[in-house]
Amino acid sequence: MSSSHNPIRLFETVIDDCPYLEGQQSASILVDPEHKVEPALFSMLSRSGFRRSGNMLYTPKCPTCNACVSVRIPVKEFKASKSQRRIWRKNLDLTASIEDVRFDQEHFELYLRYQQHRHADSSMCDDDPKKYISFIESDYAATKFLCLRLDGKLIGLSVLDQFDQGLSAVYTFFAPDYSNRSLGTYAILYGIKLSRLHDIPFLYLGYWIDQSPKMNYKRQFKPLEGYIDKQWQQLEL
């Protein structure tokens, strides 16, 4: 792979147990961490199925499985279901704001509560602020926070990257005691709204695995496109 005549080295990670499918193994391809990533390269890689975690750009390359599919919503064609419209109405009392990326203790405490509730055994459940912010921010992405507040209290935060022709939902976390509001779904619906307002054609949702119950919520957004055989195509869900 090359960018503006500057070749990009790719590295393959070690094989590990898959966190989503029992009995499967996982591995990824990483962009050389020493390579200077410009916004144009980030856009191209994002449109080619890559994701970022902090500064790390990666795509799955598992030894015996190809279940991970990068997915995106073509926002002009999207039509909310009855359930999604109900979730939108339920959260009309929230205040949404777009904020610059920064370390904020309120954000961090919400992140920790979410991890302790959802992923207590994960390496992400770590109270080190430096690890948190290194996971959230990057040197090359145009990143913003979508903050959701109820009566001034932060109850949800979505990390959004914008690039050429796309908005990417990097990560979303919310207060466990407000799980009845379906804030993860609401954040995606709000991302669709932002994309339409700014004439951004696609909202990227990361990877989707058909057999993983944890990812069932992504199939509820229709139409949904998947990056398969190096091209985007509408998924039959």
Q: Where do the domains of the chain lie, and which CATH numbers do they carry?
A: 2-70 (no CATH), 71-99+144-234 (3.40.630)
Q: What average pLDDT does this structure show over 94-119?
A: 94
- How far CA 3 is from CA of 9, 31, 35, in Å, comes to 11, 12, 10
Q: What average pLDDT does this structure show over 68-97?
A: 98
pLDDT digits (tens, 9 = 90+) for 108-122: 999 999 999 876 566
User: Which of the four pLDDT bands, split at 50, 70 and 90, describes residue 19?
Assistant: confident
| pLDDT of residue 4 exceeding 90 | no
Quick one: pLDDT at residue 118?
79
Q: What average pLDDT does this structure show over 36-51?
A: 95
pLDDT digits (tens, 9 = 90+) for 123-164: 565 678 899 999 999 999 999 999 999 999 999 999 999 999
Q: Return all residues near 7 (Cβ < 8 A) that are at least 6 apart.
A: 1
Q: Going by DSSP bridges, is the β-strand pair 166-174/202-208 parallel, antiparallel, or unpaired?
A: parallel
Quick one: pLDDT at residue 121?
63
| pLDDT of residue 1 exceeding 70 | no
Quick one: pLDDT at residue 214?
86
| Cα–Cα distance measured from residue 223 to residue 220, given in angstroms and rounded to the nearest whole number | 9
Q: What average pLDDT does this structure show over 200-209?
A: 97
Q: What average pLDDT does this structure show over 164-193?
A: 97
Q: What average pLDDT does this structure show over 23-46?
A: 94
Return the CA Rg of the chain. 18
The secondary structure of the chain in percent helix, strand, coil, rounded to multiples of 5, reads 30, 35, 40
Quick one: pLDDT at residue 237?
80
User: Which of the four pLDDT bands, split at 50, 70 and 90, describes residue 98?
Assistant: very high
Indicate the angle between helix axes 129-136 and 105-118, nearest 10 degrees: 90
